[in-house]
Amino acid sequence: MKKALIFGITGQDGSYLAEMLLEKGYEVTGVTRRVSVNTTERISHILHKINIVEGDITDGFNVMRIIEDFKPDEVYSLAAQSHVGTSFSQPNLTWDVTAGGVLNILEAIRHSDRCFDMRFYQASTSELFGKNYDETENGEKFQNEKTQFMPQSPYAVAKMAAHNMVRIYREGYGMHASSGILFNHESERRGEDFVTRKITKWIGGFIGFKEALRREYNLKIFKTEFSEDKIVFKCGVTNQVLSSYPKLRLGNLDASRDWGHAKDYVRAMWMMLQRTDPDDYVIATGEAHTIREFLDAAFCKIDILDWSHCVVIDPEFYRPAEVEYLRGDRTKATDILGWEPEISFKELAFRMVDHDVKTQRLQRSNLQKISTNSSKTRQVHMSDVQEKGKESLAQCPPYNEVEFG
């Protein structure tokens, strides 16, 4: 049985990768750092099938001990401070984890007796390209393995250091070390402060809130009005203000990203390590969409065609330096690995919205409990809606039964 060691198993990609490797018959060990809250939510359904060891990648001795104890065949380096915006406010931490942590893993492998029996995967990123791109004869922009890196954030600089380290350890020491230059990939498990999930989470909360309000007041149709930062719900008959919901606050909507589904992307990671020769590969769908286009797709799923009333542009979410355009050319990965994405942009957005709407519905039982115990005319508060619960999905109407406007 092959053994895989995953640094960053509690993250989006780590959870999908662990699932996939278990299906392939691997023994999987995941490294988690000690924190005061439970971070294993994404892997709770497979915890009984995997080994968990405690470790922080900034602690080199610990990383070395883990690699010596577990003796993996494949090592996946996914742990990172992965939020680009946060890297501007915490550049030192980002450097220590995202660059230094990878060096600790590479060194641990290099000094191991089993150095040449292990294969190593590094989670590189399209952020390495920053503001650079190449152009086709028709003037279409793209990035591939030959495009020059021009990082635009402390995160990207740290990732570039790690990327170059991987190349040096591969060429200098003959290690089987590959980097996947992965373009943005999202999912139902995406962290809630990345733009796609922030949008779909808001939609889920909004739908859940409206449905709860409708039940609370036994109303089919509301009147909605829009203040600067809130959506105000009024009774369609009496015009009485019932409650309000905060608008979705976002930054730059004009940047373009090449978005795929994480499930497809972890398959590419594994494929790289099955090759006899290690190498670097761009992994992307080849399609670029703006944040506006993601909003179009996500709001379309709940039958809102003009989302502009629901969104506020907030300078807080602008970055000191932006990456404006990312579109990957995956020709090498398709030709050599045989990798192709299976989940389209639209399906990705729809899956994420569906998931977040269902989750919010499940979380409304507490609201119902609170409602039945209190007066029928009370205001509905956000905190009530966000309480966890187990309401039967069957009781909930489909989104389009809840009128907007």
In the complex, which residues of this chain contact ligand F7E (CB under 6 A)? 82, 84-85, 125-127, 183-184, 193-195, 198, 250-252, 255, 257, 291, 317, 319, 322
What gap in Å lies between CA 184 and CA 262, rounded to an integer?
A: 9
187 lies in the binding site for ligand NAP (CB under 6 A): no
184 lies in the binding site for ligand NAP (CB under 6 A): yes
Q: Residue 262 burial by CB count (10 A; 0-12/13-18/19+): exposed, middle or buried?
A: buried
Is-catalytic flag, 125?
Answer: yes
Closest CB 385 distance from ligand NAP, rounded Å:
25
Stretch that binds ligand NAP, among 56-64, 137-145, 163-171, 286-294 (CB under 6 A): 56-64
What gap in Å lies between CA 198 and CA 317, rounded to an integer?
A: 12
Helical spans, DSSP H, in 33-90: 60-70, 84-89
| From the list ligand NAP, ligand F7E, none, partner contacted by residue 246 (C-beta under 5 to 8 A by kind) | none
Q: Residue 53 burial by CB count (10 A; 0-12/13-18/19+): exposed, middle or buried?
A: middle
37 lies in the binding site for ligand NAP (CB under 6 A): no
Is-catalytic flag, 171?
Answer: no
In degrees and rounded to multiples of 5, residue 122 shows phi and psi of -110, 135
DSSP per residue, 359-404: HHHHTTHHHHHHHHTS-TTPPP-HHHHHS-----GGGSPPGGGS--
Candidate list 155, 169, 217, 265, residue with the active-site label = 155
Phi-psi region of 8 (alpha: psi -120 to 50; beta: other; left: phi over 0): left
What gap in Å lies between CA 3 and CA 15, rounded to an integer?
A: 16
Is-catalytic flag, 186?
Answer: no
56 lies in the binding site for ligand NAP (CB under 6 A): yes
Candidate list 125, 147, 200, 285, residue with the active-site label = 125
Judge whether 324 and 256 are in contact, CB under 8 Å. yes
Closest CB 345 distance from ligand NAP, rounded Å:
14
Q: Which two tokens stand for residue 245?
A: 């919901």
Among 13, 258, 293, 391, binds ligand NAP (CB under 6 A): 13
Residue number with CB closer to ligand F7E (80 or 380): 80
82 lies in the binding site for ligand NAP (CB under 6 A): yes
The residues annotated with a catalytic role in the active site are: 125, 127, 155
By CB under 6 A, name the binding residues for ligand NAP: 8, 10-14, 33, 35, 39, 56-58, 78-82, 97, 101, 123, 125, 182, 184-185, 191
